[in-house]
Amino acid sequence: MTLIATLPATRTTGAPDHRAPAPAAILTGRGLEKRFGGTEALRGIDFSLSRGEIVAIMGPSGSGKSTLLHCLAGILTPDGGTVEFDGRRIDALGEAERTRLRRTAFGFVFQFGQLVPELTAMENVALPLLLDGVRRTHAEGRAAEWFPRLRLDGLEGRRPGDMSGGQAQRVAVARALVGDPSVLFADEPTGSLDSLAGEHVMELLTAAARSAGASVVIVTHEARVAAYAHREVIVRDGRSSGPVAA
Amino acid sequence: MIRLGLRLALAGGRGSVAGLALTAAAVAIGTAILLFALSLAPAVSERDARTAWRDTLVPATGDAGGTLVAVFEDRAEDRLLTRVHVAASNAATAPIPPGIASLPGPGQAFVSPALAALMAELPADQLTERIGRVAGTIEDDALAAPDELVAVIGTEPGVLRANGATVVSGYATEAAALDLPPIGALIVVLAAIGAMAPVAVFVSTATRMSAARRELRLAALRLVGATPRQVARLAVVEALVATAVGAVGGVLLFFLARPLIARIPLDDLTWSPATIAPPPLAALVVLVAVQAVGAAGALVSMRRLTIGPLGVQRRTVPPAPGAARAIPLVASIVALMVAIWLYRARVLPETVTLTLSGLAFAGVIGSIAAAGPWLTGLVGRVLHRIARGGATLLAARRLGDDPRGSFGAIAGVIMAVFVASAFHVFASYVGSQTGRDTDPLLQPGAVVAQLSSEPAADLPGGAGGSADLAARLTEIDGVTGVVAVREVALVRGEGMVGLGWLASCPDLSIVLGLSNATCAPGGLTTSSGATASGRYMLYPDPADPEGGTPPETSIDAGAGAPPLLAVEGELGGFLPTLLIDPSALDDPSAIANFPVSRVYVATDGSPGVGERVRTAIVAASPASIVRLEEERVAGNSQFAEIGRIVAIGLLGTLALAGCSLAVAVTTATLERRRQFVFLRSAGMSASGLRATILLQAGAPLVAVALASALLGVLVGIAVVWIAGGSLAIPDGSLVGVLVASLTVAMLIVALTLPPLERMTRPASVRHE
């Protein structure tokens, strides 16, 4: 697999651009509601993600965008509404099945701290495969393919503490994609990086996702990051205020 | 600064307070255990002091007389029963034993509450008839424990004099010093040192419980300009909040748990709760020491923070512990051997050498703490090499990356295993020194009575008395045979050649189950190939066979006519040289001049028959020692006592080490909660989390525990051997103990898994 050109995406708020893939939805959320105690984080929100599509969920702090991502990814179960992945409801699945789904079909990139500090970069990238029962030599072989693609050559033996924030995030991206996920969820993936490093990570993330054929859901409050998406969903007070349909 | 520290500790949110509460709870448990450990010796002393009045009889001086006292150990329902027989030799000067209102007259008795209850429970012919009519109750302060069976029985002075009673003019109030054999004292000292190590590990682990959160908080303070000294003070204040609350909680826990702990028997007896109390000064030292350990732990954990505010944020790989860490271990083992050799050689005062031995043993345990991280790192590297799955890789890297922290989690168990292994060897030695007073001749359901420890003594009434007793025993329901045995000294030529039992040969063969004995007239049968020949003179007193008196009678083995069984060397030497049927005596009527020393009673084993036989024998001869076949009495009580104390200590140590492991595993997992939450969000299953935690604790636990056990066995063997004991090789039960201990430790780790699974649920990623 070769590195795809890392062109910045054209901002196409609300509507798919000419590079947008076919509109077949791989992930949908309908009427999602979620409460934390007395706080209503989501109030009947709808969401849809097509195959190969990159969608940015935007909104101010506390608006519910991360909660929406967690519900869509099967990390949280919504109090109301449904989530379907590839035509199958996942909000009604048990924890074990959702765990398996997250491991085999989804990839995750968080703001910071998701790498295991004791493991080398290579081991961190291989970890999802190892957890899925892939033999270590095979897992590390597959992980090694991602290092040149994310410009991480030579960092295989480094530990997270010995890497820059941008390098650590790219390792996290590699880890998220190593299992060939259908959907990549990224929660503020550049939140802890400076703008240059952030853009670099986003370029590589979106390019790598495209090359892997993965759809991407990005939670961000930065317009610069959202610019890499095909479209944006604006969340405010637990409700979607932007276009949601592909 | 103190106020700020308190505010940071208490107002840091629910998680912070929960962490403090957990730390305080763990410190409370450790403190309570220490207080109980401190209470053991005073409780034993108090128990001994309470029974000193009957344990140590001080003979009266002069002719003023006093109280005749004879103390006999008896049993009832397989429990120890102490009978104190008393009579006034001079009513005016006879002192009354402690705990009772007056001296009981003949046939009367004061009994302990537990004995009163047992007497009410059992038929009179099984117990009450050997005690007498109850005149009152013995007060608690004259009893070793609430469940002790004691009777102060009024007896005729003549009977007491015949049974070797002592005339006393007062009663001892202090126990005689426990005359431990030298190796026993050494074992007790080493046990005390060994038991304290896991407690120290536990308290230290507990104070680290919320350290990670505290480090982050205080790093933030460093960022805004707090000096290293200020941060250290804040850390100490915060740690002291937990340890102070924990210490108070520990004292409360001590008092709450005391009635339960008092139910743990030692030497078959429970405790009066009030007697379980540590010396006040020692208790104060412990409470202060717990604070010091907590403060020191906080300062040590703050070392990284005092370097710089980013100290806790930058994670670097510290240099791996090297093999040089094993050097102190070797050195301290050598020091221990030298100290014990000095102890044995008695070139220095015993106190000095015992102290040196204790210090060296503490050094060995401390050195294990130093060498442990090296071994743990080694385990991590090996595990990494063979790792195939994610859980193994995570555990291996963690072990290799933080061997000190990883060993810290298991340090308590490792030390406990070392101490347990060493003491298993000591216990094997103790066991080899502890004889069993079991009569191998006893058949199931049988009873044997040693009528007196003094062979010269006789049943009241002489031969008539014994005949009467035999008749009475035969009448008891369930008794199938009674044989009275007279012990005689056998003299041939110039000197004593052995002991003989004068008893009915056919009866004895049946009652004792001597299937290979032949008592047929006209022949001499030997069961072991030994032969008896020539003429034997028979004397009544084996301790002084000839005693200047002529023999009572003689037998002529050469004649060969009467039944005479030579059994030399049979049954472990328990049987005498010759079993002689009375018909073999040259003068059969002389049998009356030989006192009955032993009675064997065969029964059908029906319930209560043993106690009925015992009651009948004791009622006739108070000094008799009666043993039922099912009773097994240790022969060397001092060594047995040491063994029991060590066993209780080890159980406590292992339990504490298990708690320590659980706390450490919980802490370590919580410190990495964020990573586990992310990993689980990314699809790590709960079983993967479980496998990681179990492997991380289990792999070094098993490997290092095996090394520790081997070391413990070698040190134990060396200690016993150098101290002058016989070589004590532990039996295979050590493996069983080890497997059981490690299994329990892993079960304790498993207990922490459900809450840890809940705390690392993917849903909690929102809060991270």
Q: Between chains, do B394 and A118 touch, taking CB under 8 Å as contact?
A: yes
Which among B696, B710, B703 is positioned nearest to B742, based on CA atoms?
B703
Counted residue by residue, chain B has a size of 768
pLDDT on residue B104: 92
CA distance A59 to A62: 8
Q: Phi, psi at residue A157, to the nearest 5°? A: -95, 0
> Mutate which of B317, B672, B685, B693 to disrupt the A interface (most A C-beta within 10 Å)?
B685
Q: Between chains, do B397 and A161 touch, taking CB under 8 Å as contact?
A: no
Counted residue by residue, chain A has a size of 246
Q: How confident is the model at residue A16 (pLDDT cuts 50, 70, 90)?
A: very low
Q: Between chains, do B762 and A75 touch, taking CB under 8 Å as contact?
A: yes
Q: How confident is the model at residue B568 (pLDDT cuts 50, 70, 90)?
A: very low
Q: Which of A103, A116, A160 sits opposite B683 (nearest CB)?
A: A103
Q: How confident is the model at residue B116 (pLDDT cuts 50, 70, 90)?
A: very high
**What average pLDDT does range A123-143 have in this prediction?**
88
Query: Nearest CA of chain B to the CA of A139: how many Å?
Result: 10
Q: Between chains, do A131 and B390 touch, taking CB under 8 Å as contact?
A: yes
On the question of pLDDT at B72 being above 80, the answer is: yes
Task: Show residues of chain B in contact with A39, CB under 8 Å.
Answer: none
Task: Show residues of chain B in contact with A192, CB under 8 Å.
Answer: none
Q: Look up tokens 């005016």; give the residue.
A: B92
Measured distance between the N- and C-terminal CA atoms of chain A, rounded to whole angstroms: 28
Q: How confident is the model at residue B284 (pLDDT cuts 50, 70, 90)?
A: very high
Task: Show residues of chain A in contact with B391, CB under 8 Å.
Answer: 131
On the question of pLDDT at B299 being above 60, the answer is: yes
In 3-state terms, what secondary structure has residue A194?
coil
Q: How confident is the model at residue A129 (pLDDT cuts 50, 70, 90)?
A: confident
**What average pLDDT does range A28-56 have in this prediction?**
90
Element (H, E) at A83: strand A80-85
CA distance B701 to B411: 9
CA distance B718 to B730: 12
**What average pLDDT does range B143-159 have in this prediction?**
89
Choose the weakest-confidence range: A161-170, B240-249, B412-421, B514-523.
Answer: B514-523
Angle CA(B32)–CA(B35)–CA(B37) in degrees, nearest 5? 110
Query: Cα B380 vs. chain centroid, distance in angstroms?
Result: 38
CA distance B67 to B86: 7
Whether A156 contacts A121, CB under 8 Å: yes
Structure token pair of residue B492: 């041939």
CA distance B209 to B313: 19
The mean of the pLDDT values for chain B is 77
ipTM: 0.71
The string of pLDDT tens digits covering residues B257-278 is 999 988 877 777 888 888 899 9
Choose the weakest-confidence range: A89-103, A217-231, B732-746.
Answer: B732-746
pLDDT on residue B572: 44
Structure token pair of residue B680: 């689980």
Structure token pair of residue B716: 């134990």
Whether B231 contacts B302, CB under 8 Å: yes
% residues pLDDT > 70 (chain B): 74
Q: Which of A114, A131, A161 sits opposite B683 (nearest CB)?
A: A131
Structure token pair of residue B340: 């014990």
Q: How many CB atoms lie within 10 A of CB B370?
A: 17
Measured distance between the N- and C-terminal CA atoms of chain B, rounded to whole angstroms: 29
Task: Show residues of chain B in contact with A130, CB under 8 Å.
Answer: 388-390, 393
> Mutate which of B304, B765, B767 to disrupt the A interface (most A C-beta within 10 Å)?
B765
Whether B583 contacts B413, CB under 8 Å: no
The string of pLDDT tens digits covering residues B621-631 is 888 888 887 77
The string of pLDDT tens digits covering residues B543-563 is 666 555 656 677 765 554 445
Q: How confident is the model at residue A54 (pLDDT cuts 50, 70, 90)?
A: very high
pLDDT on residue B138: 94
**What average pLDDT does range B493-515 have in this prediction?**
73
CA distance B253 to B33: 9
Q: Which of B316, B397, B766 sits opposite A123 (nearest CB)?
A: B397
Q: How many CB atoms lie within 10 A of CB B541?
A: 17
On the question of pLDDT at B436 being above 50, the answer is: no
Q: How confident is the model at residue B254 (pLDDT cuts 50, 70, 90)?
A: very high
CA distance B68 to B66: 7
Phi-psi region of B74 (alpha: psi -120 to 50; beta: other; left: phi over 0): beta
The string of pLDDT tens digits covering residues B358-389 is 888 888 888 888 898 999 999 999 988 888 88
pLDDT on residue B516: 58
% residues pLDDT > 90 (chain B): 9
* Inter-CA distances, B341 with B18, B420, B457, B609, B712, Å: 51, 22, 47, 54, 18
CA distance B662 to B660: 5
The string of pLDDT tens digits covering residues A154-178 is 999 998 888 888 888 889 989 888 9
The mean of the pLDDT values for chain A is 82
Structure token pair of residue B591: 């049998």
- Residues B419-430 as b/e (b if ≥16 CB within 10 A, e otherwise) read bbbbbbbbbbbb
Which among A130, A127, A57 is positioned nearest to B675, based on CA atoms?
A127
Choose the weakest-confidence range: A197-201, B217-221, B566-570, B716-720.
Answer: B566-570
Q: How confident is the model at residue B670 (pLDDT cuts 50, 70, 90)?
A: confident
The string of pLDDT tens digits covering residues A41-52 is 899 999 999 998
CA distance A30 to A32: 5
Is B85 in the A-facing interface, judged by CB distances under 8 Å? Answer: no
The string of pLDDT tens digits covering residues B416-428 is 788 878 877 877 7
Minimal-distance CA residue of chain B relative to A71: B763
CA distance A203 to A211: 12
> Mutate which of A36, A65, A114 to disrupt the B interface (most B C-beta within 10 Å)?
A114
Whether B702 contacts A129, CB under 8 Å: no
Interface of B with A in 99-118 (CB under 8 A): none
pLDDT on residue B423: 78
Q: Between chains, do A131 and B684 touch, taking CB under 8 Å as contact?
A: yes
pTM: 0.61
Considering only residues B115 and A238, tell me which one the structure prediction assigns the higher pLDDT. B115
Contacts of B83 (CB under 8 A, 6+ apart): B71, B72, B73, B74, B130, B131, B151, B153, B618, B622
